[in-house]
Structure 1
Amino acid sequence: MVIIIRHFLVDSENVNDNWLMLFDMADEDDEIIVFYTKKSPHMSYMSVIRLMENNSINVRFEECYEGTNALDFQLVSYMGYLMGRNDTHSESNSSATPIVTDAADVSAASCADEYIIMSNDTGYDPAVRFWKDKGYAVRRFNVNFCKQAVQRRKNIKYQVVADIPFKEDNTNTNIDTNIDTDNDNDAITAKSYNLNELFDGNHSSYTDNEPLSDELAAND
């Protein structure tokens, strides 16, 4: 079974500590990489407490050099490094490395991992489009999108829990207790979801027919 890992790359100068919402979006196999400089906003005590309470999601911090758009360049270059590293790892575990001659077939040879930049800065969009054209799953989420995604996820989780049959005391009733409780696992596994399905209209994915920045800029 192929495990798809989501690599969340955070522009802390741009989103402040709003990146903590990713704890409600990431799975245990995912990782959050926070890029920061001395100019990154300080975290509140509540944010620090939540960070310390996290014991399931892998979080790493990468200190960046300062300068005009310096963090942006370092974040994007690090994303490319992750892609190359993961592809090299995939090839080393394969008995035969596929030779790609057509750009349309590149996705078959590229890593299945997802790379998600969290930032309100639309300046990342050309890099996102560049890598998408090469078959990689790359996206940019702004803060507003993440807030909506977290809320939608909570709604889905509550709906799943509400659908689970409730076991009542049947001492004085004739209620059949042979209820299929397999669905109980849904409340536990509700954390796993497809980001593409969080919104009607598949807002989290980009098509070649629509300008990438226009779709996301609406929520900036």
Structure 2
Amino acid sequence: MLFLIDYENVGNAGMKGCNYLDAQDQLIVFYSEAKKHMEQRSLENITASGCTFEICKLCKTGKNALDFYIASKLGELIGEGYGGIAAVVSSDGGFQAVRDYWEKRSDRKRRIVLSSCIEDAIVSGNENNERTRELKRLREKLPIGSFYSAYAERTRIKVMLKELFKDTPYENRIEDIQNMIEGKEKSSKVIYLSSLHLFGKKGGLEVYNRIKAGNALQKAEHA
């Protein structure tokens, strides 16, 4: 994707999601003397992503000057053959006209996304890739009460397992054991085989017998 950042407009808030950039992306930050600082974490995320990174500083101040820079750069890149999704990251509604032009008046229909931050742009771009699916999953709204109930139950089981495996060679593997036993779809046989796989024949049998004796299997099945 191509990201054109109206940094004077969105500031650091517009960089939300820059940790999801990758080597296939191109990002250009348009900024002015009035807003020339960016959080270090954002800059480091951008450079670590491997994306093509450019900056463009406003030469002379003027009303909507950076907007014209962005519109001009978009036209330049499309004229050079860019055919992917382009995102203008800005809260300025004036860019709607730019999107209308390329989507309705151009000989070749272009996808122009208008968003207030990089993360929103990625989701709106709706590319068929892992980062889009991951962001959609993370942004899914969950019932607070149900989520907390599951969290409380998982915490209770963790405390129980810590007590079961206290002063054993497995006391530092509680997270592995908990992941192994939790879930309604995990039968005793599946847990037994998983234990052998994780801890070896002797260790796996010891772990399985300990959680079985502690009644952890039945309790975890309902977590």
- Give the TM-score normalised by the residue count of structure 2: 0.51
SS where residue 35 of structure 2 aligns?
A: coil
Code of the aligned partner of 2:114: R
**What is the match of residue 114 of structure 1?**
85
Out of 195, 198, 216, the residue aligned to residue 169 of structure 1 is 195
Report whether the alignment pairs 1:141 with 2:115. Answer: yes
Higher RCO (CA-CA < 8 Å; seq separation 6+): 1
After TM superposition, give the deviation of residue 153 of structure 1 in Å: 3.1
Deviations 1:91-134 (A, max 9, x none): xxxxxxxxxxxxxxxxxxxx3x1111000111110111111112
Out of 26, 29, 35, the residue aligned to residue 34 of structure 1 is 29
Structure 1 residue ranges without an equivalent (≥5): 1-5, 88-110, 174-220
Out of 40, 65, 71, the residue aligned to residue 70 of structure 1 is 65
Structure 1 distance, partners of 2:115, 2:139, is 24
Q: Does structure 2 retain, via aligned residues, the 8 Å contact 1:20–1:51?
A: no
State, as a whole percentage, how many aligned pairs show the same letter: 22
- Give the TM-score normalised by the residue count of structure 1: 0.52
Q: What's the Cα RMSD here?
A: 3.8
Structure 1 distance, partners of 2:86, 2:135, is 23
After TM superposition, give the deviation of residue 37 of structure 1 in Å: 1.4
Aligned length: 140
Q: Does structure 2 retain, via aligned residues, the 8 Å contact 1:11–1:118?
A: yes
Q: Does structure 2 retain, via aligned residues, the 8 Å contact 1:15–1:143?
A: yes
Structure 1 distance, partners of 2:39, 2:119, is 22
Report whether the alignment pairs 1:58 with 2:52. Answer: yes
Structure 2 residue ranges without an equivalent (≥5): 124-130, 141-178, 180-185, 206-223
**What is the match of residue 156 of structure 1?**
137
Which structure is larger by alpha-carbon Rg, 1 or 2?
Answer: 2
Larger proportion of helix: 2
For 1:1-220, list aligned pairs within 5 A. Answer: 6-51=1-46, 54-65=48-59, 66-86=61-81, 111=83, 113-133=84-104, 134=106, 135-143=109-117, 146=120, 149=123, 153-154=134-135, 156=137, 168-170=194-196, 171=201, 172=204
